Structure 1
Amino acid sequence: MPLEVLPKACQLLLGVTFRSYQDGETVPLLVNKVYSEESELQYAYTELPFACPPTGRVRAGRFSSGASISLNLGEVLRGDRITVSDYRLALGRDEEAKYLCSKEIDAAAIQKTRLLIQNEYRAEWIVDNLPGATSFMSTDKSRKYYAAGFKIGEVVKNTDGSPEFAIYNHVTLVLRWHRAPGKTGEKGKKVIVGFEVFPKSISANGRKIDGLPPSGDVTHDPFILTVPSNTTDVRDTPDASITIPFTYSVYWREDEKLEWKNRWDMYFVASDDSSNVHWLAILNSLVIAGLLTAVVAVILTRTIRGELKDDSIRLKPTKQRPAGSAKKGSGLLGSIDDIEGAADVSDDEDEDIAGWKLVHGDVFRAPAHASLLSALIGSGTQLLFAIVGILVLSAVGILNPSFRGGYVSVGIGLWLFAGLFSGYFSSRLYKTFDLQHWQQNVFRTASLVPGLLFATIFILNLFVWIQASSTALPLTTLIALVALWLFIQLPLVYIGGWYGYTQVGAYAQPIKANVIPRKVPQQGYTRSVQAILLAGFIPFMVVFIELMFVFKSLWLDKSGYYYMFGFLSVVGVILGVTVVEVAVVATYVQLCVENYHWWWQSFLVGFSSAFWIFAYLVYYFYTKLHISGFISSMLFFAYGALACVVYGLLVGTIGFVASYVFVRRIYAAVKVD
């Protein structure tokens, strides 16, 4: 369905259409939160000790200042708390200086504000869905670009070299407009294409009666956060307070070159300078995937095909030999010694049979902890569907920077709907393992990932709530998440599980498993462990360079990752192909050493790359980031570990499915009399 046929309100929400204004029309300025690259804690702007309380005197449409804007689930989860401010913006009307308020803060508030300034907290304001930005010049000085947010203060040096903290109590707002597209522009309406904020600290000395600073060519001293006292620490004077005057200026400027549809490009100009590195990351991924593809091609087109075309050997149904009676032969990658339950062939034939053929009677035997594996694979398919859905919706433009919280909200919606697929594939695999209590498997599948996420978030939420941070989820949001799981996720998984288990049934295996299992050689176990530890390093190398940009965007820039979504999509596809090939090679090598316990290894080979990513995350924390404090560090590692677990579950499922298809294909071609 074309986006243009969506209702106007939906198009505005998704950010695929514009909002036009007439000259003199009030444009609301929304205040959201403050954040820092040195902390994982965010705070609502209106709850800051120095923020001017809303008066309700400014009206913009159906909103008045002080009103809270309704947020989607994604915005709440990312810590947004958006409120209409008292800043009065009228399209086309410049304001040289306007008085906002004077806020009195006590010693405790001064101390907290100092800490916010010391940790370089930045404020996020919004006009027409554009975040207020600090403007910079690109590296070659040819282009201007935006960095979302602006600092709330600065650290200045005193005459004796000691640090002092100046708060920015005056902001110059520069809003850039362009004529509205189409017939709307012919009527004189305009659209906003830029929102720049230039903060400044101005002392309270010499102000006029109306609270405005002296005009003209005057050098203003900064407003230092201190109290008139002989002490050096404001905490020693709890009864002392200071009054901070806040003012602002507004300038409207036309930008003839920048159209509304390209207005977000200003935020990504700096990212374009690193596009060559992104292409280097893709080239690195392609080289690794290409080499691995060559290995897989050799295995499939030469080795396995040659073994399957050898009609001189026909495997007979397995007969049990006494332990130690098997002859010593040679498999493709290893020897056969003292194998219990080997295929009933002659001594000469035994030397010619590839090792993976010898375990044909056990390769489809149900693994240990089969119920847990079924639940993991079901949850992995659910995540895979959600990720593919996000890629498709991003490609058609539904998910974009204007759709605040869109990736999280839509991702959760897709994940809930994919509960049908989760229950279906989990139950079919559960039935294939010849297990009986499918209702328990449904509940286990529906609870595995949500239970892990909710338990972790709930515990972390208690620590964040104590800090009065907007990162803490409200109780209503926690209840809503439980309701989504109970009334949507669980029923959908149950429906999919019922259909997969009772109506469709188990996957038909090409070879029936033996009654008595074979003995696995010791070398088979050893090589299995080595494969899990080493194979996961290859997918990690595919995404290693791109991970640097992801981490930088999430924890340094705090500006989102929309600009590199195309690069992530390409690398993600290469990653999927690499995981498939690694899993196939690892499974083939394992079967060749006569270890038929491939089920869990095929999953763990992909999952193990998550350990390498987490190790790199730890390295990045200690070498690149400046996060300080116990709570912030705990949040970083806890959420990083959760992300790695989710990633591991996703790629582990891809590896399992690839190995399962591979094993079925090669053993379906084996001739068994």
Structure 2
Amino acid sequence: MKTRAKPVWRLVLSFIALRSCAAFYLPGLAPVSFCEEGTSGDECQSTIQLFVNRLDSVESVLPYEYDVFDFCQDAEEKRPSENLGQVLFGERIETSPYKFNFNKNLTCEKVCTRTYDISAKDDKKKLDFLKSGMQLNYQHHWIIDNMPVTWCYNSAFNKKNMYYLFNHVDIMITYHSGATEGWKGARLVGATLEPKSIKHEDENKLTCDGPPMEIPNEFTSNTKVTYSYSVKFVVSLWFTLMCAFGDILLGNDQVNGLSQEESGWKQVHGDVFRPPRKGMLLSVFLGQGTQIFIMTFTTLFLACLGFLSPANRGALMTCAVVLWVLLGTPAGYVSARLYKTFGGEKWKTNVLLTALLCPGIVFADFFLMNLILWVEGSSAAIPFGTLVAILALWFGISMPLTFIGAYFGFKKPQPVRTNQIPRQIPEQSFFTKPIPGIIMGGILPFGCIFIQLFFILNSIWSHQMYYMFGFLFLVFIILLITCSEATILLCYFHLCAEDYHWWWRSFLTSGFTAVYLFIYAVHYFFSKLQIVGAASTILYFGYTMIMVLIFFLFTGEWRTKYSPSTYGIVLSEFHIAWP
């Protein structure tokens, strides 16, 4: 009877959940209602503003602002306030001359006309820059009601020595009416456009049915370009998302314990805490890795909850930078405590390296890439004032917090003493030597993420929107577990071979995943991208090296304790795991 009743209770609970399911809006992401002209008020508005962002290309890493290509500009141009994340990512959002009223269809409306005189040097330069943008397939990024505008076109033009300019767009906006939902007006649910090339014979009487707008390779006469648009509103079906309960059944498999030999790792208990070579550098790496790990975990967790939605542009990068600045205390604590465990006495050098070494490498690389963007005149170049603000956050907040953490870390006593005479390490087989173990250790963690890595690289370099933060957070947890288990297993094999030099090996085993990340990035560059030019190539690999360094510190830092009750050995902090 109990077995049959259980599904009934689940059905009842699911029904209650469906009836009590309610939606909520995150701060800054509340929907905007629109209504027809003449009926607007506090609850809805009638004017729809189309925003334009930077232009970028899959063949070039250099983005440019919308105005650089001499497109039609808004007479009352306004730029929404940009947060730190938008500035670092090179977001350049501004208003456009495309403005229309809700539910008012328009056909072949004129935006502006641009005239280019072949005798004017500036006009010829503008057209040459426009043609170079066509050659590199630079693409627009438009925004309506904080939604990206999707577009598709038919490339049926193939005339030689001729450029075809898309000077007309057909915009279709889908909306859902609130008449049956209890709120006034309507809400936009999608926006698509189809660009077209149309030569307007008479700019005062547009018909939008002429031949394509052609720009010759060599200018022989003055060129006139008239930009136009049409807009159509369509009612969309509203698909309601429903809440539901689901049961996740976890099967616990019982694993028989393996018999342990009375030799091997038990004989090196007096040497496992022997300080490693370059202990200063290892402690600095682990401190920085802790800082990056907490920052990444918190950022992804907030993004998974929806607080860092892609609609809230720049929020992800802003959150990551702010968290990194505020997490200097854990970095200083971990680095100082490990360094004291290694018997180090140069605590000032340790703290300064923790606060300056890895961030300094990242900032130097980032600054060099920004210089290239400045020279190339790209819109992604970070303003000098923003760089000064980042330095102020680094030296004014992060560094003092690192010193505070180091103060508490140096107060902790050394956990375990070591033998006075180091134990002799026997001859090792090929698989227990450091290099083969480190190379093999990074394969499994990389295998967990390489599919998701493809979508992340597409989001960064192919300019696609990334939404799957819930799945990314799950992959992140799987990566942590895989790094821990792979490192524990290989480290156990090394100890069974009576090799107690495990400090650096445990860090590099999972940290070697970053090498596979770099190899995959190189493969992605040559197989998926069509980037041309020395500047774009340098920018790609420059930013890739920053990602590789951060990933190296993060994966190398993550580790799990061995359980003393399981292995019968006093290794309270065996795997560099610090509480």
TM-score range with shorter-chain normalisation?
A: 0.7 to 0.9
- Structure 2 counterpart of 1:156: 157
1:536 aligns with 2:442: yes
Deviations for 1:528-547, whole angstroms, at most 9, x for unmatched residues?
22111222122222223333
2:330 is matched with which residue: 417, 421, 424?
421
SS of the aligned residue for 1:41 comes to strand
- Structure 1 counterpart of 2:533: 629
Does structure 2 retain, via aligned residues, the 8 Å contact 1:100–1:247? yes
Return the alpha-carbon distance in structure 1 between the equivalents of residues 304 and 414 of structure 2: 34
1:172 aligns with 2:170: yes
- Structure 2 counterpart of 1:271: none
Return the alpha-carbon distance in structure 2 between the equivalents of residues 491 and 155 of structure 1: 61
Return the alpha-carbon distance in structure 2 between the equivalents of residues 201 and 478 of structure 1: 41
Deviations for 1:52-109, whole angstroms, at most 9, x for unmatched residues?
23312xxxxxxxxx11211111111111111112222212222223221112342222
Does structure 2 retain, via aligned residues, the 8 Å contact 1:165–1:224? yes
2:134 is matched with which residue: 95, 111, 117?
117
Return the alpha-carbon distance in structure 1 between the equivalents of residues 424 and 390 of structure 2: 48
- Structure 1 counterpart of 2:290: 381
**Distance change in 2, residues 1:397/1:438 (3 Å):** same
* Greater CA drift, 188-197 or 452-461: 188-197
1:593 is matched with which residue: 497, 522, 533?
497
- Structure 2 counterpart of 1:202: 198
Does structure 2 retain, via aligned residues, the 8 Å contact 1:154–1:167? no
Matching of residues 353-432 of structure 1 within 5 Å? 353-432=262-341
2:424 is matched with which residue: 500, 509, 519?
519
Matching of residues 558-597 of structure 1 within 5 Å? 558-562=463-467, 564-597=468-501
Does structure 1 retain, via aligned residues, the 8 Å contact 2:176–2:187? yes
SS of the aligned residue for 1:85 comes to strand
Does structure 1 retain, via aligned residues, the 8 Å contact 2:57–2:138? yes
Does structure 2 retain, via aligned residues, the 8 Å contact 1:42–1:469? yes
**Distance change in 2, residues 1:661/1:164 (3 Å):** farther
Deviations for 1:449-496, whole angstroms, at most 9, x for unmatched residues?
321111001011111111111121111121111111112211221222
Deviations for 1:414-462, whole angstroms, at most 9, x for unmatched residues?
2222222111222211222222232332221122332111100101111
Return the alpha-carbon distance in structure 1 between the equivalents of residues 500 and 544 of structure 2: 34
Return the alpha-carbon distance in structure 1 between the equivalents of residues 520 and 99 of structure 2: 47
Return the alpha-carbon distance in structure 1 between the equivalents of residues 448 and 433 of structure 2: 23
Does structure 2 retain, via aligned residues, the 8 Å contact 1:46–1:83? no
**Distance change in 2, residues 1:155/1:118 (3 Å):** farther
Matching of residues 481-560 of structure 1 within 5 Å? 481-502=390-411, 505-506=412-413, 508-509=415-416, 512-523=417-428, 527-556=433-462, 558-560=463-465
**Distance change in 2, residues 1:513/1:197 (3 Å):** same
Deviations for 1:9-35, whole angstroms, at most 9, x for unmatched residues?
x822xx2x2122332222221111111
Deviations for 1:101-143, whole angstroms, at most 9, x for unmatched residues?
11234222222212211222210111110111116xxxxxxxx
**Distance change in 2, residues 1:460/1:666 (3 Å):** farther
**Distance change in 2, residues 1:252/1:200 (3 Å):** same
Does structure 1 retain, via aligned residues, the 8 Å contact 2:108–2:207? no
1:668 aligns with 2:554: no
Amino acid at match of 2:231: V
Return the alpha-carbon distance in structure 2 between the equivalents of residues 46 and 507 of structure 1: 62
Amino acid at match of 1:76: V
SS of the aligned residue for 2:98 comes to coil
1:459 aligns with 2:368: yes
In structure 2, the gaps of 5 or more residues are 1-21, 38-45, 117-122, 243-249, 573-579
Q: 1:606 offset after TM fit, Å?
A: 0.6
| Residue-pair matches, total | 528
* Greater CA drift, 543-552 or 190-199: 543-552
- Structure 2 counterpart of 1:131: 148
Amino acid at match of 2:100: L
**Distance change in 2, residues 1:379/1:665 (3 Å):** farther
In structure 1, the gaps of 5 or more residues are 57-65, 136-150, 227-231, 263-285, 308-352
Matching of residues 585-664 of structure 1 within 5 Å? 585-654=489-558, 657-658=559-560
SS of the aligned residue for 1:385 comes to helix
**Distance change in 2, residues 1:5/1:494 (3 Å):** farther
- Structure 2 counterpart of 1:87: 98
Amino acid at match of 1:55: A
1:103 aligns with 2:105: no
Q: 1:601 offset after TM fit, Å?
A: 0.4
Deviations for 1:151-195, whole angstroms, at most 9, x for unmatched residues?
8x968322xxx242111111122222223499862xx32222111
- Structure 2 counterpart of 1:283: none
Return the alpha-carbon distance in structure 1 between the equivalents of residues 56 and 129 of structure 2: 14
Amino acid at match of 1:198: E
Does structure 2 retain, via aligned residues, the 8 Å contact 1:429–1:506? no
- Structure 1 counterpart of 2:62: 41
1:189 aligns with 2:96: no
Deviations for 1:249-288, whole angstroms, at most 9, x for unmatched residues?
22222223257x89xxxxxxxxxxxxxxxxxxxxxxx9xx
- Structure 2 counterpart of 1:77: 88
Does structure 1 retain, via aligned residues, the 8 Å contact 2:310–2:466? no
Amino acid at match of 2:400: P
**Distance change in 2, residues 1:33/1:630 (3 Å):** same
Does structure 2 retain, via aligned residues, the 8 Å contact 1:171–1:198? yes
Return the alpha-carbon distance in structure 2 between the equivalents of residues 669 and 32 of structure 1: 55
Return the alpha-carbon distance in structure 2 between the equivalents of residues 585 and 601 of structure 1: 12
SS of the aligned residue for 1:249 comes to strand
Q: Percent identity?
A: 33
- Structure 2 counterpart of 1:213: 206
Return the alpha-carbon distance in structure 2 between the equivalents of residues 181 and 72 of structure 1: 36
Q: 1:571 offset after TM fit, Å?
A: 2.3
SS of the aligned residue for 2:490 comes to helix
Q: 1:607 offset after TM fit, Å?
A: 0.8
**Distance change in 2, residues 1:536/1:156 (3 Å):** same
Deviations for 1:359-378, whole angstroms, at most 9, x for unmatched residues?
22221011111111111111
Matching of residues 437-448 of structure 1 within 5 Å? 437-448=346-357
SS of the aligned residue for 1:88 comes to strand
Does structure 1 retain, via aligned residues, the 8 Å contact 2:168–2:198? yes
Amino acid at match of 1:254: V
- Structure 2 counterpart of 1:222: 212
Does structure 2 retain, via aligned residues, the 8 Å contact 1:155–1:165? no
**How well do the aligned residues superpose, as a CA RMSD in angstroms?**
3.0
1:257 aligns with 2:166: no
- Structure 2 counterpart of 1:302: 258
SS of the aligned residue for 2:53 comes to strand
Return the alpha-carbon distance in structure 2 between the equivalents of residues 582 and 499 of structure 1: 31
Bigger radius of gyration among the two: 1
Return the alpha-carbon distance in structure 2 between the equivalents of residues 254 and 78 of structure 1: 35
Return the alpha-carbon distance in structure 1 between the equivalents of residues 200 and 167 of structure 2: 10
SS of the aligned residue for 2:541 comes to helix
**Distance change in 2, residues 1:99/1:612 (3 Å):** same
SS of the aligned residue for 1:519 comes to coil
Deviations for 1:380-419, whole angstroms, at most 9, x for unmatched residues?
1111111211232123221222111222111222222222
Amino acid at match of 1:519: Q
Return the alpha-carbon distance in structure 2 between the equivalents of residues 93 and 194 of structure 1: 16
Q: 1:233 offset after TM fit, Å?
A: 3.6
Return the alpha-carbon distance in structure 1 between the equivalents of residues 323 and 422 of structure 2: 42
- Structure 2 counterpart of 1:326: none
